[in-house]
């Protein structure tokens, strides 16, 4: 089963793909092991208020509407977005020097309702830890269909022992240009047309902010 975000997206025709319907503020914590190899990514998602309301109503949570979940309700909420179909990448791509890094499924899921918004986290372990010399590391969170928009608004942090030794660079996408290109392609189609059959590419990646991580101090001392 894919997360509810994905399932909701299947119900909309091609024209709806031109703009997102779910908005998620996203953050990352990059975990490095004792040998300074990238070993895991902790992903945090903060859902928009409307989608959070839909989920709490669907799961029959917060019946008194006070915005506070009981321990039992919170336990029922945990993992609502991490029951993924096999092959689903969790809307996350991590690369080292242009090579895609295989990741585990979601681990150690946590979820809470805070100020009317669901905040969840999970850990993606690298199938094989990757040495810093293989970098720079690139992280992009995106839904290929662009039904869900991931915005890097939450902190992006590193293991404490690497603070001050690494550089984080944020590369913003050309949203206006990407939308114009997507809309031009969609205007050629009937509203119920199948995107793949009409050779329309999934362009969510064109709207993704990229986080680049380099650690020059470590590279200089290890080369």
pLDDT attached to residue 223 = 47
How would residue 221 be classed by pLDDT, with cut points 50, 70 and 90?
Answer: low
Cis peptide before 88 (omega within 30 of 0): no
Pairing label, strands 117-131, 148-151 = unpaired
pLDDT attached to residue 14 = 41
Beta bridge partners of 27: 44
Of the two residues 7 and 186, the one the predictor is more confident about is 186
How would residue 175 be classed by pLDDT, with cut points 50, 70 and 90?
Answer: low
Task: Give, rounded to a whole angstrom, the gap between the first and last alpha carbons of the chain.
Answer: 45
Is pLDDT at 61 greater than 90 in this prediction?
Answer: yes
Q: What is the pLDDT of residues 118-162, one digit of tens each?
A: 999 999 999 999 998 887 999 999 998 888 999 999 999 998 877
pLDDT attached to residue 166 = 84
Q: What is the pLDDT of residues 178-207, one digit of tens each?
A: 666 667 666 666 666 655 555 555 677 888
Average the pLDDT over each of 19-33, 94-108, 203-217 and give the range with the smallest value: 203-217
pLDDT attached to residue 96 = 93
123: tokens are 């850990």
The stretch 46-56 carries a mean pLDDT of: 96
CA neighbours closer than 13 Å in the CB half-sphere of residue 108? 9
Mean pLDDT for the chain overall: 83
Residue owning tokens 């029922």: 76
Closest CA to 105 of 86, 130, 120, 119: 86
Q: For 172, list phi and psi in degrees, rounded to 5.
A: -85, 145
Report CA torsion sign: 187, 192, 194, 195.
Answer: positive
pLDDT attached to residue 200 = 55
pLDDT attached to residue 164 = 77
CA neighbours closer than 13 Å in the CB half-sphere of residue 23? 8
Q: What percent of the chain has pLDDT above 90?
A: 55
Do 145 and 2 touch, CB atoms closer than 8 A? no
Of the two residues 211 and 87, the one the predictor is more confident about is 211
The 8-class DSSP code of residue 114 comes to E
């Amino acid at each position: 089963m894919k997360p509810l975000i994905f399932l909701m997206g299947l119900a909309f025709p091609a024209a709806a793909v031109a703009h997102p319907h779910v908005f998620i503020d996203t953050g990352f914590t990059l975990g490095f092991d004792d040998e300074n190899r990238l070993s895991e990514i902790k992903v945090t998602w903060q859902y928009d208020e409307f989608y959070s309301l839909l989920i709490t109503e669907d799961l029959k949570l917060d019946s008194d509407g006070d915005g506070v979940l009981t321990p039992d309700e919170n336990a029922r909420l945990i993992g609502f977005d991490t029951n993924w179909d096999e092959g689903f990448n969790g809307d996350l791509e991590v690369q080292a020097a242009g090579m895609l890094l295989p990741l585990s499924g979601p681990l150690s899921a946590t979820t809470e309702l805070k100020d009317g918004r669901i905040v969840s986290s999970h850990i993606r372990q690298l199938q094989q830890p990757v040495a810093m010399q293989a970098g720079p590391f690139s992280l992009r969170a995106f839904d290929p269909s662009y039904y869900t928009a991931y915005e890097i608004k939450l902190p992006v942090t590193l293991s404490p022992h690497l603070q001050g030794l690494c550089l984080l660079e944020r590369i913003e996408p050309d949203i206006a240009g990407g939308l114009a290109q997507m809309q031009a392609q969609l205007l050629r189609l009937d509203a119920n047309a199948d995107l793949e059959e009409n050779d329309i590419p999934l362009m969510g990646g064109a709207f993704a902010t990229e986080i680049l991580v380099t650690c020059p101090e470590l590279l200089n001392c290890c080369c």
